Chains A and B, each alone.
Chain A
């Protein structure tokens, strides 16, 4: 069973919710799919880490075989190849690794090499198995890393909590593809509402059952709650802003491990999700 935690806007508390939810379940797996800015590992400080480098395929040219037909240049829709001064050049950062240039080359002058774009770390923190992806700075797409993260748990049956990247683009889609349930974390601001509306659209496109956690609730206006009530969206929990929570989280500590009373709150969220999934 996989629960994805997402938000649209950054900084609403996705990692906070995902880390604490995973910690409140006796035996669970936490996946950090925010591979551009992975932070779950800072909280869990996992032990016994196994590392796996993630590689993509990039073309290279055997210049003695290239006859300058430019077939590959014309084929590549990503403009990753150019023929300049009688030499074929590859712009690695534009390449999508589709393999098209190899196919169209009449002289087999193009081969592929592997290029490392990041790493996956797989470790243990108390009862939680922690798997985090790290995209190397300067690399464009973390999609292969997210795919690699999900490959690691194919044979596992424990409940999985997926910490998604912010936004609503391809990286988020890749992270929620396999989810059975989505938890949308919203903050009570107009920014929060606007972005909540967007991710809600995304989970609807993928027909995922979902509910909303409103985080950092204060006694001020709560436009996120108003929006949920108006749109009849299910609110599964509201978490009140407290300086102490902010402090514990900003120090990289896990709330439910520091304050056992919060374990109840997150265990309850998990129970409610299970109940809804049974229906």
Chain B
């Protein structure tokens, strides 16, 4: 199973739009949405079947049994996450949003008043039809376990790896834990850049990050004609850094229309769709040459 991961650094450059089109074009038998705190791929790749769902347990969370608590303050002193607080009546409690489940408070408590409990941190979904498998998830609000959930989303594809020759994975913005978790084990990262000063800066940061994992990288510029000067800078950067630029996709109003109709851009006949198709073939050629 070859794994192609689509990333961008900056949000809103068109990762999901490109991923959706690639999945349609390749008739990919496996695909996944790793943007677990804002998943959108399912909106343009509508599933007719019901998913298999299961809860995602992230890190455990501490809880204090008030009756046993002797108010010694040790848990509050030792918690590095500022997750322990005392209310007006002297009651010690855990802020579940801040607790990272390290277990220090439970260890230090002389009264055994603190326990660590499993905690549901999101939901995983797996759509399995005769010809494809789609893995996606939704992280619980404010959770700090997005990287773990991303790994779970990818793991849902592994039982099918012998039947899938290409898996296309839609990533999340940024360069932190969910992105790092998504890069691990993929065969290639495709970066969707946007011609703005922000887009250029973010592209450099995601490339620096991806390179640390020695994963092959290629890039494309989306909406390249919205700022030709910066598109030139992106092209120059890629040349200087030895990164293959696989194509440039023009700004096209039809893209937003397709998204709003719940379609991928290759489901409608449009300029951007035709260019994406060219980029797709180049990407596949590169991926299989690795």
Binding site for B on A (CB under 8 A): 8-12, 15, 34, 36-37, 39, 42, 75, 77-78, 96-100, 103-104, 135, 137-143, 165-173, 187-191, 194-195, 198, 201-202, 205, 218, 220-221, 223, 243, 246-247, 249-252
Neighbouring B residues of A137 by C-beta, 8 Å: 175, 205, 208-209, 212
Whether A141 contacts B177 in the complex (CB less than 8 A), given A98-B102, A202-B142, comes out as yes
Neighbouring A residues of B146 by C-beta, 8 Å: 167, 169-170
What residue of chain A has the Cβ atom nearest to residue B35's Cβ?
Answer: A167
Q: From B12, B139, B180, B259, give the contact of A140 (CB < 8 A).
A: B180
Distance in angstroms from B12 CB to nearest chain A CB is 1
Bitwise, B57-71 to A at CB < 8 A (1) or not (0) is 001100000000000
A246 near B226: Cβ-Cβ < 8 Å: yes
Residues in B205-228 with C-beta less than 8 Å from chain A: 205, 208-209, 212, 226-227
B107 near A12: Cβ-Cβ < 8 Å: no
The 5 closest A-B pairs by CB, nearest first: A10-B11, A11-B12, A250-B196, A98-B102, A252-B197
Neighbouring B residues of A168 by C-beta, 8 Å: 37-38, 139, 141-142
B202 near A190: Cβ-Cβ < 8 Å: no
Whether A166 contacts B198 in the complex (CB less than 8 A), given A9-B11, A137-B212, A189-B256, comes out as no
A198 near B80: Cβ-Cβ < 8 Å: no
Verify if B108 is at the interface (C-beta below 8 Å from A).
yes
Neighbouring B residues of A246 by C-beta, 8 Å: 226-227
Q: From A37, A169, A220, A251, give the contact of B144 (CB < 8 A).
A: A169
CA distance A165 to B12 in the complex (A): 12
Verify if B173 is at the interface (C-beta below 8 Å from A).
yes
Neighbouring B residues of A78 by C-beta, 8 Å: 102
A191 near B40: Cβ-Cβ < 8 Å: yes
Could you tell me the dominant secondary structure of chain B's interface residues? loop
B174 near A37: Cβ-Cβ < 8 Å: yes
Whether A77 contacts B38 in the complex (CB less than 8 A), given A11-B12, A36-B175, comes out as no
Whether A37 contacts B175 in the complex (CB less than 8 A), given A100-B102, A168-B38, comes out as yes
A9 near B12: Cβ-Cβ < 8 Å: yes
What residue of chain A has the Cβ atom nearest to residue B17's Cβ?
Answer: A191
CA distance A77 to B147 in the complex (A): 15
Whether A220 contacts B102 in the complex (CB less than 8 A), given A37-B202, A170-B142, A191-B43, comes out as no
B108 near A103: Cβ-Cβ < 8 Å: yes
Distance in angstroms from B104 CB to nearest chain A CB is 5
How many residues of chain B get a CB closer than 8 Å to chain A's CBs? Answer: 64
A37 near B43: Cβ-Cβ < 8 Å: no
Residues in B144-183 with C-beta less than 8 Å from chain A: 144, 146-147, 172-180
Residue among A11, A172, A251 having the largest count of chain B Cβ atoms under 10 Å? A11
Q: From B196, B212, B260, give the contact of A189 (CB < 8 A).
A: B260
Neighbouring B residues of A143 by C-beta, 8 Å: 144
Neighbouring A residues of B43 by C-beta, 8 Å: 190-191, 194
Distance in angstroms from A30 CB to nearest chain B CB is 15
B142 near A15: Cβ-Cβ < 8 Å: no
B202 near A172: Cβ-Cβ < 8 Å: no
A99 near B175: Cβ-Cβ < 8 Å: no
Neighbouring A residues of B208 by C-beta, 8 Å: 137-138
B100 near A98: Cβ-Cβ < 8 Å: yes
Neighbouring A residues of B198 by C-beta, 8 Å: 15, 37, 39, 42, 250, 252
Whether A190 contacts B262 in the complex (CB less than 8 A), given A137-B212, A198-B38, A252-B197, comes out as yes
Verify if B143 is at the interface (C-beta below 8 Å from A).
yes
A11 near B38: Cβ-Cβ < 8 Å: no
A166 near B196: Cβ-Cβ < 8 Å: no
Distance in angstroms from B221 CB to nearest chain A CB is 12
Residue among B37, B97, B108, B259 having the largest count of chain A Cβ atoms under 10 Å? B37
Bitwise, B89-109 to A at CB < 8 A (1) or not (0) is 000000001001111100110
